[in-house]
Amino acid sequence: MDPTRFDAIARVLASRPDRRSVLQAAIGGALAAALGGASDAEAGKKNKKRKKKKSNCPQSRRCGKTCCGANKYCCNPKRGVCCAIMSQSCCNVGEGTGTCCSRPNTCGKPWGKDAADSVCCPEKRQWFTTAGLVRCCPAGTVSLGRGISTNGGPCCPQASYCGNNDCCGEGQVCCKHGPNDKGRCCDKHLCLGPGLCCAPGAEIFCPDTNPHCAFGPRTCCKQGNIYVSCPGTTCNCG
């Protein structure tokens, strides 16, 4: 046999895989196929679970990643804030800004700051414009009511507020006739008795029965079912 032919036969024999290599390759292929099939099946199950979660919350109650309760609505999708339909309003509704405000508080712009965000305003500080818009008086003040205003605006300092939507000015006090009387503003030196704001020089007559201001001297007298003050020292009111 010539050397060239011998070398060719040797190369063919060397290139054939042995039986062990062939068996290992076959086993590896079978395992890969089995594992691949299991992974595909598991992925299919996960996709089904994801689809089920998406369909649980009705579109009308979705609030970002949160599902609002049956009696709530979305106020802030970014933070998942839901407000109660019957008892809360949403101030500054929108992405990342909305907050719930519980009644009797209500949303309103701060007084004098129409460009600012709305705040949850306590009932006693709510001022309503003639157009029905809500403005919130600052802390430490009281609203004078719907459409009512003074030279200082619709917000009265708490210490100056007189319960009949009056705001007493400097040198005035809130004169009240008993604990249930709302009172009215009166110059301090003219508030001569409970709820009596008299003119300068006047006096209070019949304080226990029918308190009123009058210029004396006078006498408190009963006339029928009421008490009145008569001029002088006798009950002669004729």
The pLDDT of residue 193 is 67
Query: What pLDDT sits at residue 136?
Result: 94
Is residue 15 a part of any domain in this protein? no
For residues 91 and 115, state if they share a domain.
no
Asked whether residue 180 falls in the same domain as residue 202, the answer is no
For residues 139 and 157, membership in a common domain is answered with: yes
Q: What is the pLDDT of residue 7?
A: 55
Confidence at residue 220, expressed as pLDDT on a 0 to 100 scale: 92
Return d(Cα 87, Cα 71) in angstroms, integer: 10
| Average confidence score pLDDT of the chain | 79
pLDDT of residue 148: 63
SS3 of the chain: helix, strand, coil, percent, to 5: 25, 35, 40
Q: Residue 75 domain-assigned? A: yes
Tokens 């009240």 map to which residue?
176
- Reading the block at residue 89, the tokens are 């309003």
Where would I find the beta strands (DSSP E) of 38-104? 62-63, 66-67, 72-76, 81-84, 88-91, 99-102
Check: CB of residue 98 under 8 Å from CB of residue 75. Answer: yes
pLDDT on residue 6: 47
114 and 186 inside one domain: yes
Tell me the three state secondary structure of residue 124.
helix
* CA atoms of 95 and 186, how far apart (whole Å): 51
pLDDT of residue 2: 57
| Number of domains making up the chain | 3
Domain span at 61? 57-103
Domain end, chosen from 153, 172, 191, is at 191
Query: Which residue ranges in the chain fall short of pLDDT 70?
Result: 1-55, 146-152, 193-195, 238
The first and second tokens of residue 193, run together, are: 């008795």
Q: What pLDDT shows up at residue 181?
A: 76
Question: Each residue of 172-230: pLDDT tens digit?
Answer: 888 877 777 778 888 888 887 666 788 878 888 888 888 888 888 899 998 888 898 99
Torsion of CA 135, 139, 142, 143, to 10 degrees: 0
Q: Are residues 202 and 148 in the same domain?
A: no
- SS3 for 19? helix
Q: How far is CA 84 from the centre of its chain?
A: 11
The whole-number pLDDT of residue 225 equals 87
